[in-house]
Amino acid sequence: MVMEYMPHGNLRDFLILHSMKQDDETEVDQNECSQDGVILTDNQMVQFARDVANGMAFLARQEVIHRDLAARNVLIDANLTCKVSDFGLACHVTDLEMAKRFHHETPLPVRWMAPEALLRGIYSQMSDVWSFGVVMWEIASRGEKPYPGISAKDVVIFLKDGNKMVPPRSCEQKICNIMNSCWEETPDQRPKFEDLVEKFDNILDVEHDYLLLKFVH
């Protein structure tokens, strides 16, 4: 199988690598932030989320459920475009009964799973949306492990009790709102991926409303 070369590796490792030397508390020359010269900006982080949502929107149109969406399973190409990968747990919506069987036979990524998938083995495009919310959390936290300080086993109890993660403190309110909407308890109340793409497009458009102009005298 011949596949596209993704020089920047997976999103989680990329975020960790490129944020280590961009800590506000560490005085480091920006030219030394990374070997490839990439400097993470808020706009770039939104673009990452938009890319992932766009890829998932495509899968949704094909009626495919990914079931293992996480930053580690998103690859970055030479143009810094994120692309969803690793379809080992993916299934078509017509194969949901098989998906439930795998639920009991395969180790599962509990930190990224929606409550209905984790507790009852119910998967849908909306459970993928929950996972996308966790990916947003990973992006906003620069690659930290979801549910910090909680063991994978306790995550099950945490969600069963109706708890949710809190967006990172550095997260802007508009991003927090999108993230929290992905974690609505009722799956049907979560946004569709196409709607998420539109939300991110609107944010990116706002970022470009003001431009630095250079006048020729």
* Residues with catalytic roles: 68
In angstroms, the CA 37 to CA 54 distance is 26
Structure tokens at 59: 């899968």
The rounded distance, in Å, linking the Cα atoms of 146 and 134 is 7
Amino acid identity at 71: A
Distance (Å, rounded) from C-alpha 141 to C-alpha 135? 10
Yes or no: say if 18 and 34 are a contact pair by the CB < 8 Å rule.
yes
3-class DSSP assignment, residue 105: helix
- Give the separation between CA 59 and CA 176, rounded to whole angstroms: 24
